[in-house]
Amino acid sequence: MKFDAVLFDCDGVLVDSEPITNGVLRDMLEERGWKLSPAECMRIFVGKAVKDEAALIAANTGSPLTEEWMVQFRERRNLGLMRDLKAIAGAVDAIAKVHTLYQGRIACASGADRFKVELQLEKCGLMPFFKGRIFSGHELPRSKPFPDVYLAAAAALGVDPKRCAVVEDTVTGVTAGVAAGCTVFGYSPSEMGHDAPNALKASGASQVFTDMADLVSLLS
């Protein structure tokens, strides 16, 4: 085996959540006076925790990012996810095969809050593969692009990070995986919401792929 464990990002890698989450965010920012196109909102916020962009949001809306606003955002986001979320094309089959290949030594390491991650994995039929091995950047001192969530996942699996593969679709996530010492595979399909292949490679991804059907061969 090339690696001892495989660590997966969630949004944009396992589930197609970015258009839903960013649609809610774009609408709520416009309600506060910051008008963005869907593409602009994606470019600014994909791969990042909204709470970590509080200063940017305050600067462009003229009002601070309050906990009340964040609660409203999460409520509207969760409703959209529960209604419309689907798994990334081919992800369920690919994860099932990787789970078998690595005898369960896989984990989900996300920059999102735990409630969102678990909601999404349950909704898309992926929870059986990751139950008990879910890590949230919200619960650590620093979220992505810092390596904390990947280091925590590797430690919990009892694996040297240098023997871990990471699957990511954003520059922020690739940066986190590389900083942890992992080998990062960049997922970059043509749909909006994923960073471009050249950007992922420039951030340190060792290889970039566009189809989840190719993942097993990359990791075996």
Q: What is the pLDDT of residues 79-119, one digit of tens each?
A: 999 999 999 999 999 999 999 999 999 999 999 999 999 99
Token duo for residue 149: 């969530």
Res. 191 pLDDT band, cuts 50 70 90: confident
Give how far Cα 127 sits from Cα of 14, 33, 48, 122, 136, Å.
11, 38, 23, 5, 15
Under a CB-based contact definition with an 8 Å cutoff, are residues 21 and 80 in contact? yes
pTM (predicted TM-score): 0.90
d(CA 5, CA 13): 17
Token duo for residue 75: 């409520």
Report how far Cα 24 is from the mean position of its chain's Cα atoms. 17
Q: What is the pLDDT of residues 11-37, one digit of tens each?
A: 999 999 989 999 999 999 999 999 999
